[in-house]
Amino acid sequence: IEPHKSPLMLDVATGTGRVPLAMLDNPIFQGRVIGIDLSRKMLKQASKKLKSHTDRAPLIWGPAENLPFPDDVFDVVTCLESLEFMSNPERALQEITRVLRPGGVLLISNRINTPWMPGRLWSETELCDLLYEYGIDEMQTEPWQMDYQKLWGRKAGHTEPTGAIPLGELLYCPRCPDYPLIERDGEWFCTECKAWTRTAEDGVIELQPLYTENH
């Protein structure tokens, strides 16, 4: 991502927050890393690790298959050791590439060494072909651990870096993707469908589920 020192990053299926923590431990990095995961228990652990970085590393409870962000916004999107466990890996991949801006950097992992996941894995060629269909080019792969490849790519085209804008400028309603969520006193509201949610005591924004009763 050089020479940009303050990118806007998204870590999909962030788990216990290892990617945000690694970035924030790098003194050169001045950006913001948003972590999203479907496992609330994982996010509870991540919130403990990142409790002193809640502004630069906000955490969201939600699925990768329906990311609550507008198109073409993130400078960097990562997703490691996770796609093969998702309910709809191809849909998640569509969402991951949708929110990456043209010219932005993609880093994902591809599981290549497991006999017990038939039908849930891609070969290197299949994955590259799929990513190309979703607008990713300049792809490179490299071995990673025993069971994975890392795949780097860049979204075709070019836009200026988004930079580390606040979460409140880019968090949208999962039900109404054209409408942002409005934050007031730790609670988030959709002006269209009137759904709402809150930021939990551990700092996690709980978009899973949204509430619809009067509030």
Q: At what angle do helices 89-98 and 124-133 cross, to 10 degrees?
A: 50
Q: Write out the two tokens for 186.
A: 């730790």
In total, the chain counts a number of residues equal to: 215
For residue 197, the tally of other CB atoms under 10 A from its CB is: 22
pLDDT along the chain (215 residues), means of 10: 93 97 94 98 96 92 96 98 92 97 97 75 92 96 92 97 96 93 93 93 92 70
Residue 215 pLDDT: 53
Residue 120 pLDDT: 74
Residue 114 pLDDT: 72
Residue 59 pLDDT: 97
Residue 198 pLDDT: 94
Provide the whole-model pTM: 0.95
Residue 214 pLDDT: 63
Residue 57 pLDDT: 97
List Cα–Cα distances, 104 to 80, 97, 150, 155, 178, in angstroms. Answer: 17, 10, 17, 6, 22
Residue 54 pLDDT: 86
